[in-house]
Amino acid sequence: MAPTSFQEPTDTHNHDHLVKSTDSQHPANLICTLCEKFYHLGWVAGTGGGTSIRDNDLVYLAPSGVQKELMKPEDIYVLSIAQQKDPKNRIYLRAPPSLKPSQCTPLFMAAFTKRNAGCCIHTHSQWAVLVTLLLETRPLNTNIFEINNIEQIKGFGKGFQKQGNLGYHDTLRIPVIENTPHEEDLTESLETAMDEYPDTYAVLVRRHGLYVWGETVHKAKTQAESLDYLFQLAVEMKKLGIPWLSDIA
Amino acid sequence: MAPTSFQEPTDTHNHDHLVKSTDSQHPANLICTLCEKFYHLGWVAGTGGGTSIRDNDLVYLAPSGVQKELMKPEDIYVLSIAQQKDPKNRIYLRAPPSLKPSQCTPLFMAAFTKRNAGCCIHTHSQWAVLVTLLLETRPLNTNIFEINNIEQIKGFGKGFQKQGNLGYHDTLRIPVIENTPHEEDLTESLETAMDEYPDTYAVLVRRHGLYVWGETVHKAKTQAESLDYLFQLAVEMKKLGIPWLSDIA
Amino acid sequence: MAPTSFQEPTDTHNHDHLVKSTDSQHPANLICTLCEKFYHLGWVAGTGGGTSIRDNDLVYLAPSGVQKELMKPEDIYVLSIAQQKDPKNRIYLRAPPSLKPSQCTPLFMAAFTKRNAGCCIHTHSQWAVLVTLLLETRPLNTNIFEINNIEQIKGFGKGFQKQGNLGYHDTLRIPVIENTPHEEDLTESLETAMDEYPDTYAVLVRRHGLYVWGETVHKAKTQAESLDYLFQLAVEMKKLGIPWLSDIA
Amino acid sequence: MAPTSFQEPTDTHNHDHLVKSTDSQHPANLICTLCEKFYHLGWVAGTGGGTSIRDNDLVYLAPSGVQKELMKPEDIYVLSIAQQKDPKNRIYLRAPPSLKPSQCTPLFMAAFTKRNAGCCIHTHSQWAVLVTLLLETRPLNTNIFEINNIEQIKGFGKGFQKQGNLGYHDTLRIPVIENTPHEEDLTESLETAMDEYPDTYAVLVRRHGLYVWGETVHKAKTQAESLDYLFQLAVEMKKLGIPWLSDIA
């Protein structure tokens, strides 16, 4: 989507200092490192997917339509949450010349504002897509992915503002929302899913991929890895006739 | 195929300056970088596949029969589109000693001359081959791959000289042509497929692989990645009994 | 698990010299190199899994909850086997600030004390998990993985204090124990499995992963690779209807 | 196998000059580079597999039981073909201290002496093993892998001392021999298979892996890649119900 109406920063230097740092842990550097890693995991093929990091009031965003393994800190957008009065008219503190903001922006913002997330990752992982396709198949036809009694489930927090992680016997539940032609139009159903599943750290988008977040970059990234592990396992379980839910005491 | 009749460049220095550059974005450097990446994606195993970039009138080509992950800029062929009067007698501005031009050359040229492409990629991806094998199976037995309602479809342009990309509900259609013993003999049916599908950016070759192009290196590469993603997904969907076309409104 | 009661080392420098070395073969360096390799093999996604090395009396351990491909030598715990009088109250010679000891610690210790292992590796490999799921399925429902007549079986030692390796016709047997909500609670059943299968170098944990060890880092690592190879092969054999045991003379 | 009777080189410097070179194309360097690449392709997990290069009379061999991705030039064995009078008593020009010669040695030597190969590669690739398992299944139960009408077949030479490569419609035939408990005992049946299939560049070993060679390192490596590609494709074709042989004119 073209940035129909965002205000140019008035600063003549385009606030490059917001994305220039020699610290590998600076959000602008970290987004590039993460996106290159995600490329090699097959999560962001063909410019799909993206990553955003929040540092207090500032949000750093990968742009639209770039090769994710080649991204550079100067490609990063920065906005201030406090300054966003009108969701139709986003104000960027820093916008790279000749790039476009990501259509994922309002979805990342939902994770930051509704859940106080520190990082949100969007993947087009084929395992995520296949899980949503399997759930769509009759007689299942459901909008929730559920799995239990797999150790990797312990890689997820119990939920927003709750202490500790899920246990081995707990059922991990990830809601599935239907895809829309324009990615921004997912925002409402994503927010609804977040309201209906107040403890979830992720939402699957049917035939599209995954949004997953965490309080920190560490948690968002490791929860993304754990979910992808579970999705791949679930697809293989399906091929082998093994159910995703079981009755182990 | 041995270069039965190509004219040696008369320049004693063999026009090495055409492939020597310290700029990582120079076509001769870029072909090497891309081919190494494609090797790790499994697209060019055993010297299969190839990549060509056009820069205005000049076309840069990977040679025949080299290990694609080890290629060097000095291995690159260069020709001028304007100087090609006779397709049976290609004139190279620069030909590396002791290598052979690629049999893919006339197929790459079709993308450059008929579609004004800036880059054309040929892969032997197993997912592409498996898709053509599945399409060959009765009762399907068809020469067109079709898929819709998958987000990654948005990674493709609407077509030659058209603005914008396909939408989520659009059906992506990739024609399939039959393989021939000599790769150059594919040229006619590739051009026919390009004529019959004037908006396609790719042609599958049955039991062989894929030709995919784009206006720029960026677009050719990201369309190649998106197609491979869709072919792999399609094979997995087939294993799980999920149809490639669906009726989502 | 939080370190409910471990004694802080009294040394003000926190015994950093125990994990600082320019020798790439020092256990603290080697654990980091191995864990990064295991991350790329998919064995330790999302902070899962771990590795521990014993050097005479000293045991080096990866901490809990870290991204395994990013680990640094200063993240490593060190304890002395001789000083461990009370399993409920582990004494660390060196503990990194702001990290937690791994819940795997008592399981690694079992390999070191009962089998005199020099290294123990814990993976969440999906192939290991799928094998335990297939074994759980009726009518199999068993707690032992068995395979024979595959060359890679020769990658395993005959057993504790025995000379030489398994032969091609030998049946490799890996016991499976049931998972528990708290990883430390696996210790008793792991030790029981080690007693019941005195020659095994590995124990599968149902719906969880694998513990595998060896007299040396080399042996633990290569046995881990060989087992993962066999688990993946076994899953593919199952998909293709090929039995794991055969009667070849 | 322990080196029961090989004669120590008398040279006090152990002929280290035979494996020390700053040239990346020197056989001792090249074996290490290739083996690291093969490790990442999954061909030599857990010390399995190996590679040998012949340079005129000299044969360079990877040792037994080492981690193939960590191998160094000083680990390489060297022998002279001319000096091998007694196959039971191999004479090494250079033997690394504290390592063992590979059991694959007589099989590599068969490729060098019977086919004048310049390089021979042994893999434990799971795709190769699965193909031999599928061929063993009734009603197939055969000792020959056959596939035709796949482009990648053109990656193989027509045969020993013949010009040119196989064509697209040609049937690639790879004989399968039965595995033996001791790798050296494969030598006779490997040589028989080479005699029965005088044009083959490879022999599959049932439930074990592959031996593949070529006139040069380039040809051995690219033929190994093409074969592995075809084995993986064949396994996927089997899963999808697509036959390996077809009647395309």
Predicted pLDDT of residue B93: 95
- Given an 8 Å threshold on Cβ–Cβ distance, is D149 in contact with B180? no
B50 and B128 fall within a common domain: no
The reported pLDDT for the residue numbered C13 is 53
CA distance B59 to B107: 12
CA quadruple A112, A116, A118, A119: dihedral positive or negative?
A: negative
CB contact under 8 A, D229 and B124: yes
Q: How far apart are CA C76 and CA C57, in angstroms?
A: 16
Which amino acid, residue D106? P
- C137 φ, ψ to 5°? -70, 135
CB atoms within 10 A of CB B21: 14
Q: Is residue B7 part of a domain?
A: no
∠ Cα D114 D117 D123 (to 5°): 105
B217/B225 Cα distance (integer angstroms):
12
C208 is in an annotated binding site: yes
At residue C8, does pLDDT exceed 70? no
Residue of D nearest to C151 (CA): D208
In the predicted model, is pLDDT for residue C141 greater than 90? no
Query: Which of B107-111, B173-177, B204-208, C136-140 is predicted with the least confidence, judged by mean pLDDT?
Result: C136-140
Residue A115 forms part of a structural domain: no
Classify residue B209: in a domain, yes or no. yes
pLDDT band at B50 (very low <50, low <70, confident <90, very high): very high
Total of domains in chain C: 2
Residue at a domain's end among B42, B68, B102: B102
Tell which of A37, A70, A102 closes a domain: A102
- The span from the CA of C242 to the CA of C232, in Å, is 13
pLDDT interval class at B26 (50, 70, 90): very high
Which pLDDT score, from 0 to 100, does residue D2 have?
36
Considering the domain architecture, whether residues B98 and B114 belong to the same structural domain is answered as: no
pLDDT band at residue D228 using 50, 70 and 90 as cut-offs: very high
> Does residue A9 sit within a domain?
no
Domain that holds residue A47: 14-102
Backbone angles phi and psi of A67, in degrees to 5: -70, 115
Average the pLDDT over C26-48 and give the result. 97
What is the band of D190 on the pLDDT scale with cuts at 50, 70, 90?
Answer: very high
Whether D152 and B180 lie within 8 Å, measured CB to CB: no
Residues C152 and C170 in one domain: yes
Q: For an interface test with C, give the residue of D35, D104, D122, D130 to mutate (most C CBs within 10 A).
A: D130
Query: Given this model, what pLDDT does residue B249 score?
Result: 64
Catalytic residues of A: 151
Identify whether A213 is part of a domain.
Answer: yes
C89 and C170 in a single domain? The answer is no
Q: Looking at the predicted structure, is the pLDDT value of residue D1 above 70? A: no
Q: How far apart are CA C173 and CA C245, in angstroms?
A: 11
Contact state of B240 with A179 under an 8 Å Cβ cutoff = no
Q: Which of C124, C125, C135, C244 to mutate to test the interface with A (most CBs of A within 10 A)?
A: C124
Interface contact flag, C151 D205, Cβ < 8 Å: yes
By C-alpha distance, the chain C residue nearest D42 is: C229
pLDDT > 70? residue C2: no
The interface predicted TM-score of the complex, written ipTM, equals 0.93
| Nearest CB to B240 within list A45, A47, A238 | A238
Which of B103, B132, B207 best tests the D interface by mutation, with the highest count of D CBs <10 A?
B207
B contacts of A46 (beta carbons < 8 Å): 152, 155, 222-226, 229
Rounded mean pLDDT of D145-172? 96
* Residues of chain A predicted below pLDDT 50: 1-9, 12
Is A104 annotated to bind a ligand? Reply is yes
Query: Nearest Cβ partner of B126 from D222, D236, D242?
Result: D236
With beta carbons less than 8 A apart as the criterion, state whether D124 and D48 touch.
Answer: yes
Q: Is A124 one of the annotated binding-site residues?
A: yes
Euclidean distance between CA atoms B122 and B105, whole angstroms: 11
User: What's the mean pLDDT in B173-194?
Assistant: 95
Q: Which amino acid type is present at position C25? A: Q
Mean pLDDT, residues B63-68 = 95
Side-chain-side CA neighbours of residue C12 (13 Å): 0
Name the residue facing D45 among C169, C229, C236 (closest C-beta).
C229
Q: Which residue in the list B136, B151, B188, B191 is annotated as catalytic?
A: B151
Beta strands at A209-214 and A77-80: parallel, antiparallel or unpaired:
unpaired
Residue of D133, D27, D145, D232 lying closest to B46 (CA atoms) = D232
Name which of B218, B229, B242 is nearest A137 (Cβ-Cβ): B242
Kind and range of the H or E run holding C227: helix C217-239
Q: Do both C74 and C111 map to the same domain?
A: no
pLDDT exceeds 70 at position B99: yes
For residue A135, what are its two tokens?
């759930």
Do C183 and C94 lie in a common domain?
A: no
State the Cα–Cα distance between residues B78 and B118, nearest whole angstrom: 14
Q: What is the pLDDT of residue A3?
A: 40
Same domain for A94 and A135: no
Interchain pair B151, A209: CB under 8 A: yes
Residue C89, CA distances (Å) to A110, C5, C50, C229, C249 in order: 44, 6, 21, 38, 52
Among C151, C232, C242, select the one facing D179 at the smallest CB separation: C151
Q: Which of D74, D151, D184, D191 is catalytic?
A: D151
- Residues in B closer than 8 angstroms to A130, CB to CB, are 233, 236-237, 240
What single letter denotes the amino acid at residue D6? F
What is the chain A residue with the closest CA to C41?
A41
Catalytic (active site) residue C36? no
Pairing mode, strands B119-123 and B50-55: antiparallel
d(CA C151, CA C207): 27
Which of these, D66, D115, D100, lies nearest to D223 by C-alpha position?
D115
- Subunit contact A222:C46, Cβ cutoff 8 A: yes
Strands of the sheet containing A144-148, edge to edge, are A92-94, A77-80, A58-61, A50-55, A119-123, A209-214, A202-205, A171-177, A144-148
Helices (H), chain D: 27-40, 105-115, 126-136, 187-196, 217-239
- Residue A173 in any domain: the answer is yes
Name the pLDDT band for C185 (thresholds 50, 70, 90). very high
* Percent of chain C whose pLDDT exceeds 70: 94
Same domain, B160 and B124: yes
Whether pLDDT at D89 is above 90: no
Residues D46 and D109 grouped into a single domain: no
B124 shares its domain with B213 = yes
Mean pLDDT of B13-30: 92
* Minimal CA separation from B24 to chain D, in Å: 24
Set of chain C residues whose Cβ sits within 8 Å of the Cβ of D124? 151-152, 229
> What does the pLDDT average to over B21-32?
98
CB of A92 closer than 8 Å to CB of A101: yes
If asked whether residues C97 and C148 sit together in one domain, one would say no
Active-site pick, C8, C74, C146, C151: C151
Q: Do D46 and C225 touch (CB under 8 A)?
A: yes
C189 belongs to a structural domain: yes
What CATH number did the domain enclosing D33 receive?
3.40.225.10
**Rounded CA separation C15/C4 (Å):** 21
- pLDDT of D170 higher than 80: yes
Q: pLDDT value at position A12?
A: 40
Distance from CA of D82 to the nearest CA of C (A): 32
Name the residue facing A208 among B151, B155, B167 (closest C-beta): B151
Least confident among C9-18, C26-35, C99-108? C9-18
Do C86 and C113 fall within a single domain?
Answer: no
Asked if pLDDT for residue D247 goes beyond 70, the answer is yes
pLDDT at A137: 86
- Taking CB atoms and an 8 Å limit, are D126 and C155 in contact across chains? no
**The pair of three-digit structure tokens given for residue B161, joined into one six-digit string:** 């000289």
d(CA C230, CA C244): 10
Which residue among B71, B102, B133 closes a domain?
A: B102
Residue A117 lies in a domain: no
Q: Is C58 helix (H, G, I), strand (E, B) or coil?
A: strand
